[in-house]
Chain A
Amino acid sequence: MTQYGFFIDLSRCIGCHGCVIACKQWHDIQPGPTKWMRVYQWEKGAFPNIDLRMLTIPCFHCEKPVCAEACPNKAIIKEEKYGAVLVDPEKCTGERKCFEACPYGAPQFENDAPGTKMTKCTMCFDRMEKGDKPICVLSCSMRALEFGPLDEIRKKYNPRGLESAGAPACSVSCPAGIDAGGYIKLIAEGKAKEGLEVFRQAAPFAGVLGRVCAHPCEVDCLRGQFDDAISICTLKRYMADSEFKTGRVKAVPVKRTRQDRIAIIGSGPAGLACAYDLVRQGYPVTIFEAAPQTGGLMRYGIPEYRLPKSVLEDEISYVQELGAELKTNSRVEKLEDLFSQGYKAAFIATGAWQSLKMGIPGEEASGVLYAIDFLKQANSGRKVKLGKRVAVIGGGSVAIDAARVAKRLGAEEVHLICLECRDFTSKDRMLAQPEEVTEAEKDGVIVHPCLGLKRILTSKNNRVLGLETMACVSVRERDGKFAPKYKEDELSTLKVGNVIMAIGQMVDKSTVPGGLEHTALGTVAVDPVTLATSMKGVFAGGDVAGGGADVISAIAAGKGAAVSIDRYLSGKDLKAGRRPVIASRSLKPPLRKKAYAPLGEWDEKTAIEQANRCLNCGITIPSVVFRPVDPKREIVPWDAQKALELWQKRHPDSGEALPDIFTDISEVTRDASDIMGRKELKLKPRSTEEMMFCTTDDE
């Protein structure tokens, strides 16, 4: 069988229903709620952020049709030539089990009467048999649709090469390959505890990731292609929190079944994730941590308000309870020592702790701090003295953290200055997540985008007095290469007492055991697939080996190293069947929209509701690829506030005073979902009446 499938380009869909009518007339389906091809329409937001959404959707002819499984009469079959999912009207008794099972609303019913037989999209089987494509595909006047063998469709249209067929997008785009679908389904069923167990098959850090993960999984979420993505990150936090609140039962230690001792150097996310996987395979594992406390960047880099130490410590304890040995204040200088102590393999995950410098005048002045040192000090509970006015330089998460910590430490004015812009759809966007920036602003941080630092102004005795900045017109080349361009003549100054540099970190070689090859950038040289270093039996990953600079990428590296170490110790081929752990990942666009419910802490009701929005694509494996709507761009400056002020007034030629069009601008921009109609996507309307309401246009 060759599975055929659709490509649906929502960036071209105008919601005209041409495909719907082409289908209905061809298959002679009378006007009514039966729509094998459907176009949903809904809208969100208020002026100026109006969002009109349209979704064109046939049956996905899933590789694993759950409708067929659900049918008590075996009336639904997966046809063997094209992979079309077809229904036998003779066998269908209208029990609607298929409708309940299908996440996509594909089974159609002409009316609500019990026993009404189901009909559905046939993939135009009749046309396929004559060599013609489905009629919907050939009818679209925007040329938004294509159809063909699914492999070809995936290869051609899948966003960012999510080539792996048969896996949910969230797991494919997770650096650590965590299958979110599994635990989300359990949350949806009200089984958060079981969900957490599923999660722990992959990693120990639900509480940590639920707070600080950059969640690339959400970007590729199937639902996110046309609607708000599932907030996988928040669901993870919900699971962890539900357990944390009631108290965790101590983990049962894993029985040691393997003899080969493994040394892990560094107790950050990479080291702990590696230890976690190896301990569970029965290996004796020791983690050496140079610092007085475990956790690495999770402890010293991330502030308490984002990641409470209690949550972190609980999850590290879990790894310990399983049997990993943790040694703090233990720097490993020489790898040879480890091997002579009887360790058979080692994983180096010491991180990147040295701040990058810009090389501009004034950088050596007193009052210049470096973000990672600053955060480490603050997170260790040591006092940091700051002036009243502080500038943080950088547009990533570390910069945001530094700025918010500075504010919390009592700085009266905190300015965040970055080259990048606030438009998160731009190639020049800030690297921090949009919600992080919003939170920082809520804390009172003043964000200055599109500014480059020219020099730090200093006093005679070399104290920081302020900054001189220049306008930044472009940060990256089209291919994503960092190459900032400035308007050198557009200068401004800012008076500050402290400057915190947060433009990135590099590996501090003095913290890495000797004897290994390093790259030109200073990172430990590793094989991208196996993470093997130049020394036999020694692997390295995470920031020390140029990882993804975020927690989930570090976990991915740790897990990858665990596989390599196990294979190494078992005498297996290290590379066979593996993909690079360190993939060159281009800058991903962030989520198109924020999730429905506010992020953060969710109660059970919200969590279940949100988990139920998951379309279970990992279970059904739909034969479809979507392209989402294009983001908006500001071509010319347009101030929405000003536009509304102008809109409010009338200006008759006579000069006569006329009543305003509205009394207050906030009325226009306020949420009006209480009086609006179709505010959300209802893929599975409860009745034919609701179905018609959801799948009609307002001209």
Chain B
Amino acid sequence: MAQLIVDKHEGTKTVYTACRCNCGGNQQCVFKAHVKDGKIIAVEPDDRYNKNVGREDEVLSEKDLLKIKLQRRPCVIGLQFYRWLYHPDRLLYPLKRELGSERGEGKYVRISWDEALDTIAEKLQGAKQKYGPYSIITPYANESAERLFSHFGAGVTGWGWCSYDAARLMMHMITGGKGWEPASWSSGSASDMLANTKMIVLWGSDATVQHQGPAHMFAWFIKMARERGKPVIIIDPRYSAAAQVLADQWIPIKPGTDRAMFMAMAYVLFMENLWDKEFVARYVEPLGFQKWQEYVLGKADGVPKTPEWAEVKCAVPAETIRSIARMVGTNRPAWLYCHFAVSRKSDGEQTVGSFAALQAMLGYWGTPGAGPAMHPGPFRPIPGGEFSGWSGVPGDFKVPKVYRSHYWAESVLMLDKVRSGELSPKDYMRMTGWRAKPDILKDYNPKVMFWGGGHKPHATNSLVICCNSSNNQVKAFNRMEFFVYMHSFMHPTAKYADIILPARDWTWEEKGIARSASYGTFEAVNWCAGVVDPPGEVKSGVWAYCKLAERLGIDPKKFFSYYTTDENWESDWERCQRDAYAQIKEYFETKKGVKLPSFEEYSMGKFINPDEYDEKPFTGWDEQIKEGKPFKTGSGKIELYSRLVADESQRGKSEHYDPLGHLIDNLPADWGDMTPSPTYRAMPRGMDDPLTKKYPLMLITPHSRYRVHYLFWDYKWLKDHVYRHRVWINTVDARARGIKDGDMIKVYNDRGTVVMPAYVTSRIMPGVVVLHSGGKVIHDKDGVDRGAGPSTLLGGEFNSCLAPARATNLVQVEKYTGENK
């Protein structure tokens, strides 16, 4: 019968390589790619462990399971990622906007690299001369651009670019661990959970969608815990796949009110004496704890935060809150987990702070099986940082950070009002997250947009996602005299650029150490093998920066210290990777006393699984809790009260430093209405905001399983193939509006309008609608977004800009009666 089946994979070369598409699992998944005639024709999932085993848990010993001797299987996105390389939107050559065409139209002509780079250099120099040093902007805190600017002597940048910035800020304030040094504050791992916990409670977390490790491996670990009889409770306004598969019990909660529940749980723990007094006395700074206790018990404001107080806010019955509090207090250790979503809202930092306080009361910081204190780990202090690979030295010019990254467009547009006197500089600075010297404001004159992926060509951040209002971004683009953009694909943002540079794909076309980021519950040091050569005239992003640096009169070595000549580019690049690996190897060999494979072996598939070299699963806070070293705060303890924020004289300073002298990266000059220790209020633009009279539905924008932000949007392998992009609406809300499943509906508010089909379901609670993150902004002639990118509907709230672009808003929905296109 074999003649019926053609072996399509005969004679292929196989290469092990990691996936890096900037999802939460960041670089942890491993493929075995099949290459034929310089093209990837298929992939198999990782088979380095337990070859040919489907259910790996059935063949592994407990010890090996906890050491994660497991395949790093890719997810549905990863499994077709290589085919995306051959997508028609792939950028192959440098492009210039066609003369006379409008920005956004997407009409481009091919030019040479020389012409492209010469033009960019000329425009940058021209702007510097004509408009001064603060006229070139790059929205995100892009290390590459910042380094280039620092040598060039012009340019401004933003601060903060992570969805979890609010937590990074709180981490710094509470523990002294710097926001961008996850090794100093990461805690909790999936293996620790599986090995040690007695029960699991998750807030705002759908591990069947999010990648917190290779693909949905974290979900699998939760499921295994459940199979071992550990109760799992999921608290979420959605009846998610996780609620169906992972949870014994689902409890819906009003979005934006998790903090009220934490406070009420704390109240029960206080009243019933279920808190860990010894832990608090030893590790928690007394004033902060006192403030927390006084607030929870109502001594501060006369309102005890009882379960009855909380239930009307979060719609979780008081009896349920009490029971959960008692259970997590007595059924020790419980794995409490509060995911990113709860912080991506107004006052998100307060929610994270409350959670950290709750975990401290329970004595759960650093307790095996008790879950992360705030931010999920693990992240060991392996050299190479969160994004490994290459280095250079900064120049003399101090590049000011003049906005929160996600608010760059507001920072451009609202400048008019400052100049006209309509808006005070003070308010402007608070609203946009100013973090530079105030006197720069008068010279801030944004004219050139320099947006390049640099070391991260898949920079998935763009106008369609992670921003406050897509419409504002388009307006701000159109204010620019010149706009350069670098990416691997014709990204929706690219269509507004004047020059587009084609970059190598980071996963398949570039060699590099693929060190997992700190968002997961697993850890890996993998390798991207540069499986195929890039097509057309696609170049390394770093190479493009070097060549541009040259044209600006900067020694490329200052930008990338390994640079020698163009001819040596590939070997220079590899040298850099080898050195980085040598540091990693040294770390393991000296700290863990193990022999690591040579670079050659490593890059051929012997990737590093840090769990293998530890005796026990990663818990975190070992130094402080086990070894008794102080936290890096002023008091050496967990600080639940920020003396800095309490000190009004600090407000407005361009930079803030912690008592040990480290810059607090995620704190703007003016922190708005943030309180020094956690408090509760009805969320602005939340379900209890009077604005609901106009926009009665609360929009939440969780991640999709099938996209990484924008990436993989216009892609027939995924959209309308294995998933549909629709607006989730509860049956009650749909019925009240005469909407049936599949009807086109209009979702709108003061920020914009989108039109999309409705998914009518009981899986979302009444009064809440869901539009998944990512998507694409496709304006029709009426300015309606037909791509239904959720960012079209976000923003409009300026109390503080500590949380990154808020992922929620209030909206109204109606049946769409207009033309269907």
List A contacts of B732 (CB < 8 A).
662, 667-668
Alpha-carbon separation in the docked complex, A642 to B76 (Å): 39
Query: Is there a chain B Cβ closer than 8 Å to A659's Cβ?
Result: yes
A146 within 8 A of B: yes
Q: Is the CB of B249 within 8 A of A636?
A: yes
Chain B residue at smallest Cβ distance from A667: B732
Determine which of B42, B47, B722 lies in contact with A28 in the assembled complex, contact meaning CB atoms within 8 Å: B42
Kindly state whether residue B632 has any CB partner on chain A within 8 Å.
no
- Given contact pairs A32-B721, A50-B239, A138-B47, A86 touches B215 in the complex (Cβ within 8 A): no
Give B679-713 as 1s and 0s: 1 = Cβ < 8 Å from A's Cβ atoms.
Answer: 00110000111101100100000001110000000
A647/B252 contact (C-beta < 8 A), A14-B208, A668-B732, A698-B724 known? yes
Which residue in A11, A26, A129, A133 is a CB contact (below 8 Å) of B54?
A133
- In the assembled complex, the CB of A118 is this many whole angstroms from the nearest CB of chain B, namely 13
How far is the CB of A5 from the nearest CB of chain B, in Å?
Answer: 12
A638 and B79 form a contact (CB under 8 A): no
Point out the residues of chain B lying under 8 angstroms from A18, CB to CB. 73-76, 79, 215
Residues of B contacting A634 in the complex (Cβ-Cβ under 8 angstroms): 248-249
Q: Choose, from A74-82, A285-293, A450-458, the stretch at the interface.
A: A74-82
| A20 to B721 alpha-carbon distance, docked (Å) | 10
- Scan B712-726; emit 1 where CB is below 8 A from any A CB, else 0: 000011101111111
> In the bound complex, what is the Cα–Cα distance between A249 and B194 (angstroms)?
65
| Inter-chain contact B251/A14, CB cutoff 8 Å | no
CB-defined contacts of B693 to chain A, threshold 8 Å: 658-659
- Is there a chain B Cβ closer than 8 Å to A460's Cβ? no
Complex CA gap A126/B239 in Å reads 40
Known: A658-B692, A676-B741, A677-B742. A86 touches B5 (CB 8 A): yes
Instruction: Assess A642 versus B724: contact at CB under 8 Å? Given A18-B75, A676-B760.
Output: no
Known: A636-B324, A652-B689. A16 touches B759 (CB 8 A): no
* B728 near A143: Cβ-Cβ < 8 Å: no
CB contacts (< 8 Å) of B687 on chain A: these are 650, 661
> With A142-B216, A142-B220 in contact, do A17 and B722 touch (Cβ < 8 Å)?
yes
Q: Which of A17, A43, A81 contacts B762 (CB 8 A)?
A: A43
Residue among B5, B71, B239 facing the most chain A CB atoms (10 A cut-off)? B5
Q: A13 touches which one: B245, B728, B763 (CB < 8 A)?
A: B245
The count of chain B contact residues (Cβ–Cβ below 8 Å) is 110
Q: How far is the CA of A102 from the CA of B71 in the complex (A)?
A: 35
**A12 and B54 contact, Cβ closer than 8 Å, known pairs A17-B722, A636-B327, A647-B252:** no
The reply to whether A132 and B52 contact each other, CB–CB distance below 8 Å, is yes
In the complex, which residues of chain B have a beta carbon less than 8 angstroms from the beta carbon of A642?
317, 319
Closest A residue by C-beta to B5: A125
Q: A658 and B215: CB pair below 8 A? A: no
By beta carbon, the residue of chain B nearest A28 is B8
Interface residue stretch chosen among A302-310, A607-615, A625-633: A625-633
List of B residues within 8 angstroms of A629 by Cβ: 244-245
Query: B233 to chain A: which residues have CB within 8 Å?
Result: 635-636
Tell me the complex Cα distance, A607–B208, Å.
38
Chain B residues in 8 Å Cβ range of A51? 244
Q: Are A146 and B55 in contact (CB under 8 A)?
A: yes
Q: Is the CB of A47 within 8 A of B765?
A: yes
Are A16 and B705 in contact (CB-based, < 8 A)?
A: yes
Is there contact, CB below 8 Å, between A31 and B716?
yes
**Does B41 contact A28, Cβ atoms closer than 8 Å?**
yes
Report the Cα distance A79→B2, complex, angstroms: 9
Bound together, the chains give a CA A556 to CA B75 distance in angstroms of 49
Given A129-B2, A141-B216, A636 contacting B55 (CB threshold 8 A)? no
The stretch of B307-315, B379-387, B483-491 in contact with A is: B307-315
Question: Is A435 positioned at the interface, with any CB of B under 8 Å from its CB?
Answer: no
Q: In the complex, what distance in Å separates the CA atom of A142 from the CA atom of B56?
A: 10
A145 touches B722 (CB 8 A): no
Q: Report chain B residues within 8 Å CB of A131.
A: 52
| Residues of chain B contacted by A636 (CB below 8 angstroms) | 233, 249, 251, 320, 323-324, 327
A633 surroundings in chain B (CB, below 8 A): 231, 248-249
- Asked whether B4 is an interface residue with its Cβ less than 8 Å from the other chain, the reply is yes
Whether A646 contacts B215 by the Cβ 8 Å rule is no
- Residue from B44, B220, B717 in contact with A21 in the complex, judged by beta carbons closer than 8 Å: B717
Which residue of chain A is the closest to B2 with respect to CB atoms? A129
Q: B217 at the A/B interface (Cβ < 8 Å)? A: yes
Interface string of B216-259 (1 = CB under 8 A from A): 11011001001000010100000101111101111110100000
Residues of B within 8 A of A133 (CB): 52, 54
Tell me the bound Cα distance from A52 to B742 in angstroms: 18
Min C-beta distance of A98 to chain B, whole Å: 15
Q: Is B740 an interface residue (CB 8 A)?
A: yes
Chain A residues with Cβ below 8 Å from B361 are none
Instruction: Tell me how many residues of A have a C-beta within 8 Å of chain B.
Output: 95
B268 in the interface (beta carbon within 8 A) = no
Are B252 and A16 neighbours in the complex by a CB distance under 8 Å? no
- Answer whether residue B214 sits at the interface, using C-beta atoms and an 8 A cutoff: yes
Residues in B neighbouring A81, C-beta threshold 8 A: 1
Q: Separation in Å of the A477 CB from the closest CB of chain B? A: 15
Do B739 and A675 touch (CB < 8 A)? yes
Once the chains bind, are B735 and A675 in contact (CB under 8 Å)?
A: yes
B724 adjacent to A16 (CB under 8 Å): no
Q: For the complex, what is the distance from the CA of A43 to the CA of B681, rounded to whole Å?
A: 36
**Complex contacts, A22 vs chain B, CB 8 Å:** 45, 79
A25 within 8 A of partner (CB): yes
The A1-54 residues at the B interface (CB cut-off 8 A) are 7, 9, 11-18, 20-22, 24-28, 31-32, 39, 43, 45-47, 50-52, 54
A698 touches B761 (CB 8 A): yes
Q: Is the CB of A698 within 8 A of B766?
A: no
Chain A residues within an 8 Å CB radius of B75: 16, 18, 141
- For residue B731, CB closer than 8 A to chain A, the reply is yes
CB <8 Å contact, B55 and A630: no
User: Is A643 an interface residue, CB under 8 A from the partner?
Assistant: yes
Shortest distance between the CB of B207 and any CB in chain A (Å): 9
Min CB distance B89 to A, Å, is 15
Partner of B706, one of A46, A86, A658, A699: A699
B682→A653 contact, CB < 8 A: yes
* B741 engages A675 (CB within 8 Å): yes
- A138-B8 contact, Cβ under 8 Å, with A661-B766, A676-B760: no
Q: B220 touches which one: A12, A24, A632, A659 (CB < 8 A)?
A: A12
Q: Which of A13, A45, A125 contacts B1 (CB 8 A)?
A: A125
Query: Does any Cβ of A come within 8 Å of B43's Cβ?
Result: yes
B1 touches A77 (CB 8 A): yes
Is A238 an interface residue when CB atoms closer than 8 A count as contact? no
Chain B residue at minimal CB-CB distance from A39: B722
B616 within 8 A of A: no
Chain B residues positioned under 8 Å from A675 (CB to CB):
731, 734-735, 739-741, 760
| A interface residue numbers (CB < 8 A to B) | 7, 9, 11-18, 20-22, 24-28, 31-32, 39, 43, 45-47, 50-52, 54, 77, 79-81, 84, 86-89, 122, 125-126, 129, 131-133, 135, 137-147, 629-630, 632-639, 642-643, 646-647, 649-654, 656, 658-659, 661-662, 667-668, 672, 674-677, 692, 695-699
Kindly list 17 other residue pairs between chains A and B, CB separation below 8 angstroms, not including A7-B54, A25-B717, A637-B320: A27-B8, A32-B721, A79-B1, A139-B45, A141-B214, A141-B219, A146-B54, A632-B247, A636-B233, A636-B324, A638-B319, A646-B316, A662-B736, A668-B762, A675-B740, A675-B741, A692-B721
**23 A-B Cβ contacts within 8 A?**
A9-B55, A12-B245, A20-B76, A24-B717, A122-B5, A125-B2, A126-B5, A131-B52, A132-B52, A138-B44, A138-B45, A139-B45, A139-B79, A141-B214, A630-B248, A632-B250, A634-B249, A637-B323, A639-B319, A643-B252, A643-B320, A658-B690, A696-B721
Name B's A-contacting residues (CB within 8 A).
1-2, 4-9, 41-45, 47, 52-58, 71, 73-76, 79-80, 82-83, 199, 208-209, 214-217, 219-220, 223, 226, 231, 233, 239, 241-245, 247-252, 254, 311-313, 315-317, 319-320, 323-324, 327, 681-682, 687-690, 692-693, 696, 704-706, 716-718, 720-726, 728, 730-736, 739-742, 759-763, 765-767, 772
